Amino acid sequence: MGASGVLARGGAASSMAVPRGAHINAWIRPGVALRRPALLRIWRKYPAWLSLDSVLFSSSSARMAPATVAALLLASVLVAAAPAAARAGEPYVFPPTPPSPYPMEREAFLSAPALRALLATNTTWNDSTGVLTPDEVPLATPFTCGARAPGTDHMVRCDASPPLGGIVLEPPCAATASIIFLHGRTEGPWIYQTLLHTLLRSAPTAFASVRWVFPLAPRYTSTVSPSHPPNFHLWFDLTPVFDEAIGRGVADAATTVAGFEEALVDADATNDALGLFFTTRRVEAIVAAERRALPAGGKVVLFGHSAGAAAASHVAAVSRVHLDGVVAAQGYLPGAPALLRLSGVLSRTRRRYRVELVAGGADQIGRPALVDASARLLRRVLRGSTDVHYTLLPGATHFSMLTPGRDADAVVDVLRRYLE
């Protein structure tokens, strides 16, 4: 845009004071006739500068060519004849009847009563998938809004409104840090309520001043993969991976790190870019809210498990949000082909935090080779703009951190590094 097109309310691009009504002269030269569409576009773009009383009846109008004045008068007639919505600055709607709503696969946020009811239903827990050993099936942990989380000193605060759409576990001491937790693919939050309960009880002192922020992902009422049921809470539709190269690699215990790298960059893989975009923007808004809730110097860490770890890895790749660390446990890097194409842009800004991808040595779902391959690709995407670490927890399964013991303690140790 040239200098003549740069306008500020109350003045033109030049430093000379411009009398009221003369703003139009910054981009309409006297004697230059404008076609009606161009004039109407200018009229709608600058309504405050183009009111007829200021243009036609000011001292500057005397310098305007008769052709320009006539064009303005004609435009005023056309605008007066337009529908009220158009005169108010709203766009024309064609056809006049609104179209049918777009059938979104993601449900909206739960209402406050629905959220309270969902949290309270965690009275029994059964492993319908059959992937847990009997020792890994956790105890039920219902949460009640406004009450303490069972067995802890953290209070459950429910907030169904955007961007949180979930709960905050408020610490007993003045908050100095926040951990934003992204859960995995689940039919409900029950299993992850138990995880938070386990971690808090494992290190009550370490988390005594830490807010645990637990947004609930939207339910997908439909999925790309017909072999996987809908109505799961997902940060993005990852069901295609079960039927594509990554899923085949997970099913084969012999798949190497190189094999998973090849699967992650498969150009034919299905990627829910829109779901990842929505999740990234939501996380950024939650981080901003936590920054406002904490004192200056407070730390905000993003922590995800399984599919939530995949979402957290994507946020680390594409977002410049102010974080103090990203811990992605037993997930993978989604959308790697697009991220690699954009690595020149994504790595331009130095991030002020580390990213740590954590694998369980006995995990049959988020296999260590898959997590290792994801860490290597994320390093290629970010090109040294942040440190990307790979950590292996020997003997840990996909859900062993849910119950108190060595693996839960190991996860606490990882998180503690980002809080000190």
d(CA 114, CA 251): 37
CA–CA distance from 347 to each of 161, 336, 357 (Å)?
33, 14, 18
Q: What are phi and psi of 221, to 5 degrees?
A: -80, -10
Please name the fold of domain 112-419: Rossmann fold (3.40.50)
> What single-letter amino acid sits at 148?
R
Break the chain into its structural domains and give their ranges.
3-87, 112-419
What pLDDT score does 142 carry? 84
Residue 125: per-residue pLDDT: 56
Output the six-digit token pair for 341: 């194409």
| Structure confidence by residue, pLDDT tens digits, 28-44 | 333 334 344 444 444 44
Question: Rounded to the nearest 10 degrees, what angle do helices 190-202 and 406-419 cross at?
Answer: 70
pLDDT for position 31: 38
pTM: 0.74
The pLDDT, as a whole number, for residue 42 is 41
Q: Give bridge partners of residue 148 from the DSSP assignment.
A: 155
Over residues 222-235, the pLDDT tens digits come to 888 877 878 889 99
- Mean pLDDT along residues 51-78: 46
pLDDT at 119 over 80: yes
pLDDT at residue number 184 = 94
Q: In this model, does residue 276 exceed pLDDT 80?
A: yes
DSSP 3-40: GGG--BTTB-SSSS---TT-GGGGT--TT----HHHHH
Per the prediction, the chain carries an average pLDDT of: 79
Lowest average pLDDT, out of 122-126, 146-150, 235-239, goes to 122-126
What CA–CA distance (Å, rounded) separates 342 from 377?
Answer: 13
